[in-house]
Amino acid sequence: MDSDTNTAEPSLFEEKLEKTKGSGKWLLLAVILFLIWRFLSNPGTLSGEATLQSQNHVLVSANAAGLLREIVKREGASIQKDELVIRLENPDLVNKLQAVKLRIEILNAERDLLMRECDYREQALSSQQILLENGAVTERAFQESQLKRDASKSALIAKEKELAMLAREKAVLEDNVSHLDVRSPFSGMVVSDPSKRLGNYIVAGEFLFDLVDPDSFFLEFKIPESMMHLVSPGDAVTAKFDALPGKSFGGEIVELMPTIKEETEKVFKIKHVATCRIRLNSFPPDAKVGMTARVTVKPRGLAEFAGAGVHLGDLLKNLNKKSFEASP
CB atoms under 10 Å from CB of 55, counted, come to 11
Are residues 108 and 244 both part of a single domain? no
Give the per-residue pLDDT at 126. 92
Per the domain annotation, does 64 fall within a domain?
yes
Are residues 206 and 99 both part of a single domain? no
Are residues 72 and 189 both part of a single domain? yes
Are residues 121 and 196 both part of a single domain? no
Average pLDDT, the chain: 81
Per-residue pLDDT tens digits for 250-276: 999 988 888 887 776 665 666 778 888
Q: How far apart are CA 235 and CA 227, in angstroms?
A: 13
- pTM (2 decimals)? 0.60
Are residues 186 and 77 both part of a single domain? yes
At residue 167 the predicted structure's pLDDT band, cuts being 50, 70 and 90, is very high
Does the structure show a pLDDT above 70 at 188? yes
Are residues 50 and 105 both part of a single domain? no
Expressed as residue numbers, the domain containing 293 is: 46-55+215-307
CATH number of domain containing 192: 2.40.50.100
Between residues 33 and 239, the one the model is more confident about: 239
Residue percentage of the chain with pLDDT more than 90? 44
Per-residue pLDDT tens digits for 133-165: 888 888 998 899 899 999 999 999 999 999 999
Does the structure show a pLDDT above 80 at 101? yes
Give the per-residue pLDDT at 302. 53
Domain count, the chain: 3
Are residues 264 and 118 both part of a single domain? no
Are residues 130 and 194 both part of a single domain? no
Per-residue pLDDT tens digits for 231-246: 889 899 999 998 888 8
CATH number of domain containing 280: 2.40.30.170
Are residues 86 and 184 both part of a single domain? yes
Given 122, 144, 173, the domain boundary residue is 173
